Amino acid sequence: MSIREQAWRIFSRELNASSLYQEGNIDLKTPSYIITPFGSMVNRVLISGKLTMKENSGSEVRPVWKLKVLDPLGNFFLTINEEYQSEAGGDLFDVQTGDYVTVIGKVKMNKFEDGGTFINVRPERIVKTTEEEYKEWMLDAAKSMWFRSIKMDNLARSSIVDYEGNFDKNPLTDLKDRGHKESESKGIIMALQHYGVTPSDSCMKSIQKVLRILLPNEKIDLGVPMDINDDTNETSEISEKNERHNNDANIEDTILEIITEVGDEIRGASIENIIRSAETRGINEDKVEEIINSLSDKGLIYEPSLGYIRRIV
């Protein structure tokens, strides 16, 4: 029996800054993970914030909801396809834009030809919450980031790794000797090798900002300069990149669903029928062709015969 994955309390900035993905294996029932710059191996998340967008990009019959949830450091991007996420879809009746919400769900990373990545949360449940409960989540997420940053910083100061993520010894054995769990050690090693050592200042700036929100009447100074303009620009750039990729990621999911819906087991789905169905959902022919090419490049579909498309399962 598979063990349910931990749901990480994590800020949007760390999640959206991640670019390393470990693909799972359906046959072996191993999960997929996003490895964050601080070494978390994330399959599921527990996030909170203000719901700032709730839009149906599907149809009235088959709703596909695109959501944005704002935390103190940026945006989470969520997708709920009611056909496959009925519980989360039902939860949407109780939440509106402007509400504070708490979400538990799985994460998915999409990679694009320009080298960019887009991370999407697929909610299992989404519930309306209070501002006080949101602040409690902020504190929990800040604590989690702090402890993971400390572990990274301690390794950076040790002799076993340099700032490029190169190890002098067997890293897994060394980390286990230092008291780290094997699962935790694997994430740290992969993060160091992929990102190098993430400067602790980036963590401290984030925590300082969170504490200033939680304690507005206190003078919070963790010893790191806080350039508000730079901080805002960084968050804005991440959000703009994710907005661009969000649309393509959701359209790809929609086209894959259409291929399943209009196709048959023998020939697959005709491109003509795919385009016709996509147009009823507001996706034009040029975009359909672009997405089909992208899905083909990713190895998610193939053309068994001229003019027909099948999914690779």
Distance CA 222, CA 212 (A): 11
The string of pLDDT tens digits covering residues 50-107 is 999 998 888 888 888 999 999 998 899 999 988 889 899 999 999 999 999 999 999 9
pLDDT tens-digit map of 278-290: 888 888 888 888 8
Half-sphere exposure of 302 (CA within 13 A, CB side): 5
- Range with the lowest mean pLDDT among 36-40, 135-139, 192-196, 212-216? 192-196
- Residue ranges and CATH numbers for the domains of the chain are 7-128 (2.40.50.140), 137-230 (no CATH), 240-311 (1.10.10.10)
pLDDT at residue 3 is higher than 70 = no
pLDDT surpasses 50 at 206: yes
User: Helices in the chain by DSSP H: which ranges?
Assistant: 12-16, 86-91, 131-157, 171-177, 182-195, 200-214, 228-262, 271-279, 285-297
What whole-number distance in Å separates Cα of residue 308 and Cα of residue 272? 9
Reported as a pLDDT band with limits 50, 70 and 90, residue 135 is very high
What pLDDT, on a 0 to 100 scale, did the predictor assign at position 240?
Answer: 54
Please tell me the predicted confidence (pLDDT) of residue 231.
47
3-state secondary structure 175-226: HHHCCCCHHHHHHHHHHHHHHCCCCHHHHHHHHHHHHHHHCCCCCCCCCCCC
Q: Which of 19-33, 118-132, 266-280 has the lowest mean pLDDT?
A: 19-33
Most confident of 2-11, 171-180, 223-232: 2-11
Q: Which of 193-207, 216-230, 268-282 has the lowest mean pLDDT?
A: 216-230
Q: Provide the pLDDT confidence category of residue 183 given band limits of 50, 70 and 90.
A: low
Query: Does the pLDDT of residue 159 top 60, yes or no?
Result: no
pLDDT digits (tens, 9 = 90+) for 111-131: 776 667 789 999 999 999 999
Torsion of CA 50, 249, 57, 8, to 10 degrees: -30
- For residue 228, what pLDDT is reported? 42
Q: Span 190-218, mean pLDDT?
A: 84
pLDDT above 60: residue 236: no
Partners of 70 in beta bridges: 50, 75
pLDDT confidence of 235, banded at 50, 70, 90? very low
Which amino acid, one-letter code, is at 33?
Y
What does the mean pLDDT of the chain come to?
Answer: 81
pLDDT of residue 167 exceeding 70: no
Separation CA 194–CA 294 (nearest Å): 25
Is beta strand 20-22 parallel, antiparallel or unpaired with respect to 269-270?
unpaired
Q: Which residues of 258-280 are buried (b: 16+ CB within 10 A; e: fewer)?
A: bbeebbeeeebbbbebbbebbee
| pLDDT number for residue 94 | 92
Please, which pLDDT band fits residue 216 given cuts at 50, 70 and 90?
confident
* Residue 99, pLDDT score: 96
Residue at token pair 């901080």: 231
Residue where the block lists tokens 């994710």: 242
The whole-angstrom distance between residue 41's C-alpha and the CA centroid of its chain comes to: 12
Which among 155, 157, 158, 159 is positioned nearest to 190, based on CA atoms? 155
